[in-house]
Every structure is written in C-alpha cells, then in structure tokens.
Chains A and B, each alone.
Chain A
C-alpha cells in the first residue's frame, strides 16, 4: 500500500501565487521527510527536507510545514514562478534502514 499519500495530483497556479502540496503518512517510524523536484527528462533532486523535531523549515521561497500529531506535512512555494513548473514528490525515510517511500507526485504548472 502507499506509505505516503500526496495531493493534489496536479496544480495550476498563477505567477506570484502560493503553491501548496500536501502529504500524509501513517508509519511513526519515519524520521526524515524530504521533498524532491523533478524536471522533465531528469531525475528527482532534493529540494528541501525536515526532521520531525521541528514544525517548519524555510529555504528561500520554499517552506515545509510539519504536523507530527496529525502525521502530515506540506510544501509551500511562495511567489511561484514559471521556472518552478515541475513534478514534486514528498518522501519519508524509516529511522531504521535507509529506505525512502515516495508519494505519487504533484505536477505543478505556474502560468505567467
């Protein structure tokens, strides 16, 4: 079954708007929650990541919000730009072992 559930499947945002992508998990053994960005024809690349001991992490226009009690985390892209158009994957890693479980991805399109 899907260990990490991601929504929405696709998202269209106007330039300058806020893009929000949500993920949820069940396994409390996860201890690291990265977001990956993938451009067409390329492999996913790490964008930003958070550990469950903090509720928010910000890097430039990208912010992860983490709610440990609800087992949910989200990616916020402020001032979205056409260059942000890509597929975004949330993921979670178990505290034991080195396995990452990915969400199904969100295709983001930022309209100029």
Chain B
C-alpha cells in the first residue's frame, strides 16, 4: 500500500515567493495533519482536518499560512509570502480515528524540506 505522499521533497525559494506543499493521505484515512519540524521547536502541529473539514488551525503561525483539503485524497499547505524563518521540514500525516480496533496511529509522509533564501 502507498503511504502518505508529499511533494515536493525539496523546495528552495526566495523570500516573498509563494510556496505550495502538497499531500496525498493514505486511502481510507479521514484525518489529515500538517506538522512543521525545526531543530528548536521539534514537531509543531499546524492544522488538522477531519473528513476534509479544518478542525484546529491554532498552530498556523500567521495569516501567511493557509491550508486546504478540497477532497479526501488531497491537501495543500500554502505560504504567501514566504520568509526565511519559514525554512523547515513540513510533514503531512494521516490517520483513522481511534476505536473499532484502530489506535489512531499517525502515518507520516517523508516531508517537504523548505529553504527560503
């Protein structure tokens, strides 16, 4: 089975440019999460969706960040305009809710490494 698929794996851009990161969750998973990983702060939850609906976006750092999930198999995280402090690895993860034999385990993609010059 395919895991969580993220693209691009690496992105280098200049300050002020728009960045769009993409995620395809595991088929059948109805929860999707965007995390940001930095050395200083570890894994930070940015936003998560249940059944394509944003449930908690309190981790989104500022209005420059936005996320969408137009259908069950696709999500985007957009940064506009990008800044050097946005440089990090961005992970998408998906899961099924706990219950019915499921633990609610998170399955992570391999991440998108963003560098903003």
Q: Which residues of A contact B (CB under 8 A)?
A: 6, 32, 34, 36, 41-46, 49, 89, 93, 97-105
Contacts and interface: CB of A to CB of B under 8 A. Distances in A.
Contact of A89 (B43, B50, B98, B110): B43
Nearest to B45: A99
B42 A104 contact: yes
Contacts, number: 56
B34 interface: no
Contacts of A97: 55-56
B103 A49 contact: yes
Interface residues of B, number: 25
Interface of B: 4, 31, 33, 35, 41-43, 45, 48, 50, 55-56, 91, 93, 95, 97-98, 103-106, 108-111
Given A89-B42, A105-B43, A42 B97 contact: no
B105 A43 contact: no
Contact of B95 (A6, A41, A98, A104): A98
Contact of B93 (A32, A42, A43, A49): A43
Given A45-B108, A98-B98, 12 more contacts: A41-B110, A43-B91, A43-B111, A44-B43, A44-B106, A46-B105, A49-B105, A93-B104, A98-B48, A98-B104, A100-B106, A104-B42
A94 to B, nearest CB: 11
B4 A99 contact: no
Contacts of A41: 110
Which 5 pairs show the lowest CB-CB distances between chains A and B?
A43-B108, A104-B42, A102-B43, A105-B42, A98-B31
Nearest to B93: A43
A88 B113 CA distance: 19
